[in-house]
Structure 1
Amino acid sequence: MSFTVAIVGRPNVGKSTLFNRLAGRKLALVDDTPGVTRDRRPGDAKLVDLKFGIIDTAGLEETGPDTLEGRMRAQTEAAIDEADLALFLIDAKLGLTPADETLATILRKRGKPVVLVANKAEARGAQDSLLDAYRLGLGEPCPISAEHGEGMLDLRDAIVDAIGEDRALPIDEDDEAETDIDIAPTGDDEEDADAGYDESKPLRVAIVGRPNAGKSTLINRFLGEDRLLTGPEAGITRDSISVEWEWKGRRIKMFDTAGLRRKARVQEKLEKLSVADALRAIRFAEVVVIVLDADVPFEKQDLQIADLVIREGRAPVIIFNKWDMIEDRQEALADLREKTERLLPQVRGIQAVPVSGLTGAGLDRLMQAVVDTHKIWNRRIATSKLNRWLESMQVQHPPPAVSGRRIRLKYMTQIKARPPGFVISCSRPEKLPASYTRYLINGLREDFDLPGVPIRISFRKGDNPYAPRRKRR
């Protein structure tokens, strides 16, 4: 991108609505409640012929630095320092407030180019607020309606004037469309799978867990900076924020998500939106790291989150966070590993790593576990090996006989990876008990080294070649 724009303003002036408008899709949560956005969210924007980076920020509030609002303000100021241009949004419907004047003073001290944007300009009586905005000393306000898309051409011209035409429209700008790996669902590309595991491809990782399990602190420790908002309060994170970094030369795109509470406790609309955003991050990720509090692990909600990840077919990794608070670590680790095997039999052999997001202990082991699980999740097995294995499994433990007739398993092949999925052709698939399916899945894990990932087996009845002839008779 040629330049970066930070969208700033007091709470509830429409910053996230404008962010979604410029991004071309609904990435940021939008609600009438003030203060929905807390972390700064980056994105890619396109406005007519301009392409640039944008940062959505929290609403500015005057409060102490030790409060949640004070930490949100620090995130907003960091976004202003990071950006090349600030879009300063005011509410043309309500007019100027002391908070607007305070933010205008901050922007003037920063010395960055500023475009004054009067949002909600379609409202009745907005013209008076436009005239009043001149006293901020930031130039002529640009009237827009972020919700309805009005005034976008004027906003484009104002951005070009503020940043400069050479910067906004470089001559050697690359017009080729970039591949957006943020929203592409996990595919099952046969050719890529056959070519082997590619360690150069970016890896998408989602961090999920109950509220206040230490997810944001963990990601900040990976990045080495206070990139995400943290604190003792539960439920600070609302949006699913993506951050990019490198581990041993490999590009990692990591998603921080809102804490997932029990469904019966999620009543407010805003929390429902946060949960939906977290579930979307799980579906678009490849590896999902499930964060458990080492002090109180394997709560009912932890097991439900793990079951959700497994049902979605993602590659799961468990971490026991806050390991620095555990005293007898050897005994605790043995107990946790026993509980992991007993409570999550559907992903037997899942990687479970003790870490400390506060001190950084165990983070390298965690990333190695993530990469190893991702390799297993992408694994393919030759059809000839599968059919020899299927024959030996039937010799060791034949399928049951139903109504005096033995069920015959004839042929097996792998139809997909990510996660590994198999199809077995058999005589009467509807009569095959679930216990025999579990027997086959456990055998696949042990004989083909597929620990810790979901395995799916479906059964189908083979076509009878004599059926058409019988119908003719």
Structure 2
Amino acid sequence: MKKILLIGRTNVGKSTLFNLLSKSNSALVLNQENLTRDIIEGKLTVDNDSYVVYDSPGLENIKLSWNTFPTLWKNIIEEVDLVIIVLDGIAGITHRDDEIIRFAFSFDKTIIGVINKSDSSKFDFSNFVTLPFNITPVSAEHGTGKSQLIDLIQNNLGESVDDAKAVEFKIAVVGRPNAGKSTLINSWTKQDRLATSPIEGTTRDSVFVPAELFDDDISLIDTAGRKKRNDLHGRLDIIMDIKAQKIIFSSQIVLLLIDAQAGMNAFDKRLAMDIIEKEKGIIIVLNKWDLIPDSQRKTILADINHFFHKRFFQITKPLIIPVSAIDKWNMTTLQNNIQKLREATLIKTKTNQLNKWLQTAVDKKSPPYSKIKRPIKLKYITQTHFKPPKFTIFLNRPGDLPQGYRLYLAKSLAKQFQLESISIKLEFKATKNPFVD
């Protein structure tokens, strides 16, 4: 059964809409903010089709960050097929609405919008036409617009998020405006598929380009140049930035393209952090390398390596590839490293091999004693996730295992299984009875 999630600001009418769709009164409705505090589940039945519908608390006083989002919400977001953003037709699009829209696009889900309270004389549909998804006006309180909304739901649940889903492996090319993203893709495909210009902002939207990587079909995705938040002017800039974030979320590998002449600035570093936080494979591509004097090259590479070692301790060998996109120089090296990174993200490690490594690592360097002077015993390890790989070590006292020893294990694991160029996740969990040695 396909699943639908309602999200939006506080008091825009999500609960009233939920009750309308599920034909229930399970969501309490009053003209008071923050009334819904839990995610409520209902059922929408249309002819022979049934859907699960979730009503969520208002996203008003919560940080919109995937890393800090409540686990329950994240689990439901990962399961749903359609996200409905509910907006207030009287209030229009607020700054908080823009933040919610940006955040919703990072889910990599099909999105539609419902403009509630459209029966009000203050409602102006033209205020909403620039939204980057299909919208429909309703009055959840009076039930008007329900049939059009159900049609929109059924139409969108029958479609994929984007046509490029048919190609499983996607590589996003991101970076500041005029770093050479379109030129890089043209060099890869050996065709002038994308417009290029020395003027910033030539690419105005994300473009999917079919390509090959060692005889495998892939999609290269050219994104509009990323800008600092303070430099986003107008809804078009915001929409392009939202779409670029969605592309990163749905890609397996991200090429962060940097103009080598300009160097890696604070904004580039923020982009790198964003990519790694989304658990994507990352390659730093230094474009226009041919314009860099030999005397400066070592310093540029050393500075980027230092940033990675300081900020991302688990990536001990970051992939930093100099190229000249316009001259097609070093493109083969770039493609070879993409393939290497691709294989690392797809690794499936046998449990017996992992536990053999764990025993060797512990023999080489024993964990310290706990705070109460009891031995910390690492019992076993298993791979718990693929694409990207995640591993879990079970032990008797995870809370007492120091960060330094965790770092030692993460680096040793990455080196043993040739995962030094990706951000692996290593978790530590207690066995059922931590007091049994």
TM-score (norm 2): 0.59
In the TM superposition, residue 181 of structure 1 has moved relative to its aligned partner by 6.7
Q: How does 1:306-385 map to 2 (within 5 A)?
A: 306-328=272-294, 331-345=295-309, 346=312, 347-385=315-353
Partner of 1:410: 379
Distance 1:466 1:375, change over 3 A: closer
The residue correspondences of 1:201-350 to structure 2 (distance < 5 A) are 203-328=169-294, 331-345=295-309, 346=312, 347-350=315-318
C-alpha contact 2:396 2:434 (8 A) present in aligned 1: no
Structure 2: distance between partners of 1:332 and 1:449: 30
How far did 1:247 drift? 4.0
Report the CA distance shift for 1:147/1:279 in structure 2 as closer, same or farther (over 3 A).
closer
Partner of 2:115: none
| Change in 2 beyond 3 A, CA 1:363/1:463 | same
1:430 aligns to what?
399
Q: Which amino acid aligns with 2:427?
A: S
Native 8 Å contact 2:378 2:396 kept in 1: yes
* Conservation of the 8 A alpha-carbon contact between 1:202 and 1:250: no
Q: CA, structure 1 residues 147+431, in 2 after alignment: closer, same or farther (shift >3 Å)?
A: closer
- 1:394 is matched with 362
Residue by residue, what CA displacement relative to the aligned partner does 1:365-394 show, whole Å, maximum 9, x if unpaired? 111111111011111221112112112222
Aligned residue number for residue 67 of structure 1? none
Supply the distance in 1 between the matched residues of 2:435 and 2:375 (Cα, whole angstroms).
21
Q: Does 1:445 align with 2:409?
A: no
- Amino acid corresponding to residue 204 of structure 1 in structure 2: K
Q: Is the 8 A contact 1:182 1:284 kept in 2?
A: no
CA contact (8 A) 1:242 1:254 kept: yes
Distance of 1:254 and 1:424 partners within structure 2 = 36
Q: CA separation of 1:266/1:362 partners in 2, compared to 1, >3 Å: closer, same or farther?
A: same
Would the aligned equivalents of 2:395 and 2:434 in 1 still touch at CA under 8 Å? no
> Is the CA contact 2:179–2:287 (under 8 Å) kept in the aligned structure 1?
yes
Task: Using the TM superposition, give the Cα deviation of residue 465 of structure 1 relative to its aligned residue in structure 2, in angstroms.
Answer: 9.7
Q: Which amino acid aligns with 1:277?
A: K
Work out the CA distance in 2 between the residues paired with 1:219 and 1:324.
18
CA distance in 2, matches of 1:371, 1:300: 28
**Cα offset for 1:225?**
3.2
How far the C-alpha of 1:427 sits from its partner, in A, is: 1.6
CA distance in 2, matches of 1:367, 1:337: 19
Distance 2:435 2:198 in 1: 70
Alignment match, 1:182: 164
Matches within 5 A, 1:15-54: none
> CA distance change for structure 1 residues 443 and 25 in 2, over 3 Å: closer, same or farther?
closer
Whole-Å Cα distance in 2 between the matches of residues 25 and 221 of structure 1?
Answer: 37
CA positional deviation for 1:203: 2.8
Question: What are structure 2's unaligned runs of at least 5 residues?
Answer: 1-81, 85-124, 127-133, 138-158
Amino acid of the structure 2 residue aligned with 1:291? L
Could you tell me the TM-score, scaled by structure 1's length? 0.55
SS of match in other structure, 2:164: coil
Q: Distance in 2 between matches of 1:333 and 1:420?
A: 33
For 1:203 and 1:348, locate their aligned partners in 2 and report how far apart those are by CA, in whole Å: 25
Deviation of the 1:248 alpha carbon: 3.9
Root mean square deviation, CA, Å:
3.2
| Equivalent AA in structure 1 for residue 245 of structure 2 | L
Displacement after TM superposition at 1:180 (Å): 6.9
AA of the residue aligned to 2:326: L
Distance in 2 between residues matched to 1:466 and 1:325, nearest whole Å: 62
In 1, Cα distance between equivalents of 2:161 and 2:248 = 20
* 1:466–1:302 CA distance, 2 compared to 1 (3 A): closer
Deviation, 1:447, is 1.5
Identity of matched residues, %: 30
Shift of 1:147: 7.5
Q: Specify the code of the residue in structure 2 equivalent to 1:182.
A: A
Q: 1:466: Cα distance to partner?
A: 9.7
Q: Which amino acid in structure 2 is aligned with residue 458 of structure 1?
A: E
Any conservation in 1 of the 2:396–2:435 contact (CA below 8 Å)?
A: no
SS in 1 for 2:221: strand
How many angstroms apart in 2 are the aligned matches of 1:311 and 1:393?
27
Distance in 1 (CA, whole Å) between partners of 2:255 and 2:390 is 22
Q: Distance in 2 between matches of 1:266 and 1:400?
A: 50
Taking the aligned partners of 1:226 and 1:208, their CA distance within structure 2 comes to 19
Name the CA distance, whole Å, in 1 between partners of 2:255 and 2:207.
Answer: 15
Q: How does 1:63-212 map to 2 (within 5 A)?
A: 182-183=164-165, 203-212=169-178
SS at match of 1:296: coil
